[in-house]
Amino acid sequence: MFKPQVFRRSFSLFRRAPTSAIVKSASQDGNDAIRIQRVRIQKRVFTTSRFAGSVVVAVGAWKFLDWLNEKTEDEEELEQHRRARRASIPGQGRDDKGGREITPEEEAEWEVQDNEEGEEEEEEEESLLFFPTGFSRPKPRSFYRGSDPEWQTFVRLARDRPRVEKIRGELVTMVRELASKNPKFTVLLGKIDTTKGSIWIEVKFPDGPPLEYERPGILLTEDLTFRKGAQVVDPIHHRTLANVLMPTAVANSVYADMKRRLYGQWLDLRKYVGFEVKQSPVENMFKGLSPPTGKATTTTQPPVGPTTPGAPATADAEKQAQLPAPSTPTKPALEKLGLTLPDPGQAPTMNLAYFRLMLMKNRQPLSLEPPRGTFIVTGLVELIGDKAKMTLDITACYDPNMAEYVMLNTRVRSMTKYKQQPRGGS
């Protein structure tokens, strides 16, 4: 006689009706049996709004690609216009038998017109906006040819031995003068003599210009037309972004540190089971670098004689020091189970010595290639001071056109003190 009341509800977590409201509604309608049925409502895949949006996106993409191909069509029309103008010269389209030869004046006039058109094209290539469509990438590497002016300059310089010796001497003098004025070097070496010390310098000519990088994108020209293009990127920005997006050195360092920690836990487990464990000296060294565990340090009292009046007070102090520290209040349930909570005052620490060592090992320094038209001057320069002597590894770039060094990089190779004290004591 009575039909069960059916409530259809969705899976929403925010608009779900409470159970008490459902029971109250059923009791008001006089129903004893309640059946709750959950329903999931799905939208149609093909709707009018989705179809209209797809049409708009397709038309916009087609129009955008049409704008990109507009530059190619303009170049073809310009080339056809040039051919039509050349064919308009009398006798230009005929054969050699019935035609006439073009005079040098006409050739010069056409060259001037071609140059003007080329300049106009270069002006048109200037873009107003650049929209990058990807990450920077290296261009194909190029090499110097025998006819390039940079290579011709290298050839003339290699034959001029006096000038090469002068360039080497300028580098040595510059390095020693800079070191003598730097307080970091004078503190370690003392007063530096710029006329003493051994040197070893050599000149290297590069095979080609430095590797260039570009970022692909879309250019907005002055005619408000879009075309494909690329933008030159500085090598430092390219490598910095590459290190951020792909931190290979950090990943390798984390892997090495995790591997070392897991291996240490495996050795502790074998030692706990009863197997014999042999650790290398390197592992023991890094194990000794672990931070302190936060154990309480014991304080020592100055000795007091038995006949001094301060002895009873000292004995009471020693008894108080020997008494166990009051334990922190714990819950009875945890005491029954035999569980102890960690001390909140002891913050967990992590040993990062091995991670830092591996990071310094895996991180490659940023090596810059010599600019176009320059060559490399590298070698060793010795600095002689009052306290010690030092050998520097020098790498510099010299520009023969400017007759000066444009880049200098130094690195300490070795250092020897004149007086060495024993570290173990006398």
Tens digit of pLDDT at every position of the chain (426 positions) = 455 555 555 555 555 666 666 666 666 666 566 666 777 777 777 788 888 888 888 988 888 777 666 655 565 666 666 666 555 544 444 444 444 455 555 556 556 555 555 555 554 456 678 888 888 888 898 899 988 999 999 999 999 999 999 999 999 999 999 999 999 999 999 999 888 899 999 999 999 999 888 888 888 887 777 778 888 888 888 888 888 888 888 888 888 888 888 888 888 888 888 887 776 655 555 555 554 444 444 444 444 444 444 444 444 544 444 544 444 555 565 555 555 655 655 555 566 888 888 888 888 777 778 888 999 999 999 999 999 999 999 999 999 999 999 989 888 999 999 888 887 777
The answer to whether the CB of 222 falls within 8 A of the CB of 128 is yes
Please give the Cα distance from 351 to 10 (Å, whole number). 52
Give the position of tokens 């990088």: 213
Burial class (CB in 10 A: 0-12, 13-18, 19+), 167: buried
Q: Pick the closest to residue 280 from 297, 300, 260 (CA basis).
A: 260
Please give the Cα distance from 73 to 77 (Å, whole number). 6
Q: Pick the closest to residue 168 from 380, 404, 377 (CA basis).
A: 377
Q: Pick the closest to residue 154 from 348, 327, 373, 304 (CA basis).
A: 373
**What is the pLDDT at residue 219?**
81
**What is the pLDDT at residue 240?**
84
The answer to whether the CB of 355 falls within 8 A of the CB of 257 is yes
**What is the pLDDT at residue 63?**
80
| CA 129 to each of CA 132, 289, 326, 344, 421: distance values in angstroms, whole numbers, following the listed order | 10, 55, 73, 58, 66
The answer to whether the CB of 215 falls within 8 A of the CB of 242 is no
**What is the pLDDT at residue 172?**
93
Please give the Cα distance from 352 to 325 (Å, whole number). 33
Tell me whether strands 5-9 and 34-38 are parallel, antiparallel or unpaired: parallel
**What is the pLDDT at residue 64?**
76
Please give the Cα distance from 215 to 231 (Å, whole number). 5
